[in-house]
Structure 1
Amino acid sequence: MACRISELVLDCADPERLAEFWSKVLGYVELGREDDGGIEIGPPDAGFGGPQPTLVLSPSDDPRTGKLRLHIDVNATDRDQPAELERLLALGARPVDIGQDGTQTWHVLADPEGNEFCLLRRRLQPLGPPAP
């Protein structure tokens, strides 16, 4: 039997802000809080251990230096890529130039703390009902 990813942990300066941002991006809800101020978000109907990994926003005072060694890729489920890009920008994402030449089929963005993620072109089927 193999392992599967159950949660992704992202160190951040402001867990509240990033939990709000990523919850709106992914349609996640808050699942719990840790004594250290960490916030876990995940799918509303599955939570931890479901088919999608949860995201833990863990407080850290360490400044980020350099490029992330791991980043998140997202795909729209209920609209095309241009409409999803508009939605993500309205939520607080911003475009990031990491040397793209304009021929890419994806958009490189950053969350409110500057963590890069990519919006891919392909539309995916949602796994469950949308979050309220």
Structure 2
Amino acid sequence: MTSRIGDLVVKTRDPDRLSRFWCAALGYEVSARDQTGVAISGAANASTILFERSDDNPGDGALHLDLCPTDRSQADELERLLSLGAKPTDVVPSGCWHVLADPEDNKFCLMAKRIPAEPADFHN
């Protein structure tokens, strides 16, 4: 038996704002909300992302997300993410990825690699 990631926790000054951005970026929905923050979820077997209220948001933390387009080109997905409020960073794109920042300056990468919209079933 192994473990799996249940939640990814992102410290944030404004859980509502950041959860709206990531719901739109990932196609997730809010699954829980309380005084500590907002949780968003996608497919049944996908990890939940919890945006936890904190006054100490590092902005450039050790954990970041790598996004892969599912139904469009990297260029089209870049345009979509920028329209949602993502910002380019000073990191020069490699051709394989773009380094962006969400509305609270948490960096994430947009990869060129496309992945299927539905996660693979590893139990077959």
Please give the TM-score of this superposition, normalised by the length of structure 1: 0.84
Cα distance in 1 for partners of 2:8, 2:15 equals 14
Matched, 1:57 2:72: no
- How far the C-alpha of 1:64 sits from its partner, in A, is 1.9
Cα distance in 2 for partners of 1:63, 1:123 equals 30
- Cα deviations by residue, 1:56-107 (Å, 9 ceiling, x for unpaired): 0001111427x31111000010100000000000000001123x3x544100
Identity %: 45
**2:16 match:** 16
Contact kept? 2:18, 2:51, Cα under 8 Å: yes
**1:76 match:** 69
Unaligned runs of 5+ in 2: 120-124
| 3-state SS, counterpart of residue 69 of structure 1 | coil
For 1:112, give the aligned amino acid.
P
Provide closer, same or farther for how the CA distance between residues 63 and 42 of structure 1 changes in structure 2, counting only shifts above 3 A. closer
- How far the C-alpha of 1:34 sits from its partner, in A, is 2.1
Cα distance in 1 for partners of 2:57, 2:47 equals 25
Contact kept? 2:12, 2:53, Cα under 8 Å: yes
**1:90 match:** 83
Unaligned runs of 5+ in 1: none
Q: Which has the higher strand share?
A: 2
Contact kept? 2:13, 2:54, Cα under 8 Å: yes
- Cα deviations by residue, 1:102-128 (Å, 9 ceiling, x for unpaired): 544100000000000000001110017
Please give the TM-score of this superposition, normalised by the length of structure 2: 0.89
Cα distance in 2 for partners of 1:72, 1:59 equals 19
Moved over 6 A (4+): none
Cα distance in 2 for partners of 1:113, 1:35 equals 19
Matches within 5 A, 1:1-132: 1-36=1-36, 38-43=37-42, 45-46=43-44, 50=45, 52-64=46-58, 67-98=60-91, 100=92, 102-127=93-118
